[in-house]
Amino acid sequence: MTPAEIIGELFAGPGAREYLGEPVTIGTHMLQAGALAEAAGAEPPLAAAALLHDIGHLRGEADNRHGPAGARWLSRWFGEAVTEPVRLHVAAKRYLCAAEPGYFGLLSAESVRTLALQGGPMTPDEQAAFEALPYARDAVAVRRWDDAAKAPAVTPPGFAHFAPLLAVLVRT
């Protein structure tokens, strides 16, 4: 099986599960995030990161570990331009809660609940360290698409739409 086929099976199987109390399935959430990234003109690796940001959840990881675990799993096929925003998207939520007035108020009830499990808003030292990371800006972009990708009335393209994008990005 190709990496896209393996990932596609996760979308079709565990991706059909309820998404932690959100109004869409986890797979629909991820597909919406990928579609939002595409619509924003994101470069292919960043669009892939948006699509795959919660892959750790599809593999059974808990809220506070799903980013790093998903990035590790994806690193067998993809480079850092895909895996680092995936790894850092939870840290980006913590960062935005501390750095951007009003951001916390935009979070869904479930995102507020998981924020507490994930360490809460960053301290000033944590913010500075996060800002210095090479993929911090990309992680913030993924986080914003993540936040917006919970719309029950929006039907995103299916996984097959994104399979060619992933195939092009697989390292050989």
The CATH number for 52's domain is 1.10.3210.10
Mean pLDDT for 131-151 is: 97
* CA-to-CA dists, residue 137 to 9, 131, 133, angstroms: 30, 8, 8
User: Which of 143, 62, 130, 61 lies closest to 103, judged by CA?
Assistant: 143
How many domains, in total, are found in the chain? 1
Looking at residue 155, its pLDDT comes to 96
- Residues forming beta bridges with residue 18, ordered by sequence position: 25
User: Which of 147, 153, 131 lies closest to 24, judged by CA?
Assistant: 153
Looking at residue 17, its pLDDT comes to 86
Rounded Cα gap, residues 124 and 119, in angstroms: 14
What's the chain's average pLDDT?
A: 95
Length of the chain in residues, anyone? 172
Looking at residue 20, its pLDDT comes to 74
Mean pLDDT for 102-131 is: 94
Token pair listed for 141: 């972009």
State pLDDT tens for residues 15-73.
898 877 789 999 999 999 999 999 999 999 999 999 999 999 999 886 778 999 999 99
- Whether residue 142 contacts residue 92, with contact meaning beta carbons closer than 8 Å, is answered with yes
Looking at residue 40, its pLDDT comes to 98
Provide the 8-state DSSP code for 99.
H
pTM: 0.95
**Residues 6 or more apart from 131 whose CB is under 8 A from it?**
95
Domain that holds residue 41: 3-169
As a whole-number percent, the residues of the chain with pLDDT over 90 amount to: 86
